[in-house]
Amino acid sequence: MTTERTLVLIKPDGVARNLSGAILARIEAKGYSLVELKKIEATRELLEQHYEEHVGKPFYEPLVEFMLSGPVVAAIFEGHRVIEGFRSLAGTTDPTTAAPGTIRGDFGRDWGLKVQQNLVHGSDSTDSAEREIKIWFQ
Ligand code: DAT
Ligand code: MG
């Protein structure tokens, strides 16, 4: 068994709607362990590093504005296959069609804005997890 870590963000919509506890509880209930947790205000510079793969895309600027619109909760979770396990629990990117039972499917929907307000972020590979954990927890 290899222990793996992932970066989870509860985005400003999740924090503003007081869903942080409910979201963290689902991750713990699935069996993953909380390693680090903090509530912070992102900065443009930090988001540019975090979302470097999306710089220049049409939704990039609205995404950054959204992520700067309020505090986020950043967490490191640990467990065997936690990266894919959390992505599965989060659901697909578009919250309108994310499967019921997932965080995005149960708590989110498209609000008709230029960016998907989909409550959570989770690293998508071991390389991005390592990179993102360094960005949010120096
Ligand atoms: P995910 O968060 O599921 O890994 P991603 O990395 O492709 O998705 O995109 C990062 C975020 O950007 C995503 O959570 C919401 C927003 N986003 C992605 N694609 C979008 C699109 N086509 N229109 C609007 N927002 C989008
Ligand atoms: Mg992604």
Sign of CA dihedral 49, 53, 57, 63: negative
ipTM score assigned to the predicted complex: 0.98
What pLDDT digit, counting tens, does each position of 18-70 carry?
A: 999 999 999 999 999 999 999 999 999 999 999 999 999 999 999 999 999 99
Residue 83, class by beta-carbon neighbours within 10 Å (0-12 exposed, 13-18 middle, 19+ buried)? Answer: buried
What pLDDT digit, counting tens, does each position of 78-111 carry?
A: 999 999 999 999 999 999 999 999 999 999 999 9
Mutate to test the pocket of ligand 1, among 116, 121, 128 (most ligand atoms within 8 A of CB): 116
Please tell me the CATH code under which domain 4-136 is placed: 3.30.70.141
57 is an annotated ligand-binding site residue:
no
Does residue 54 have an active-site annotation? no
For residue 29, the CA-to-ligand 2 centroid distance in Å is 23
Q: Where are the alpha helices (DSSP H) in 17-74?
A: 20-30, 44-50, 60-67
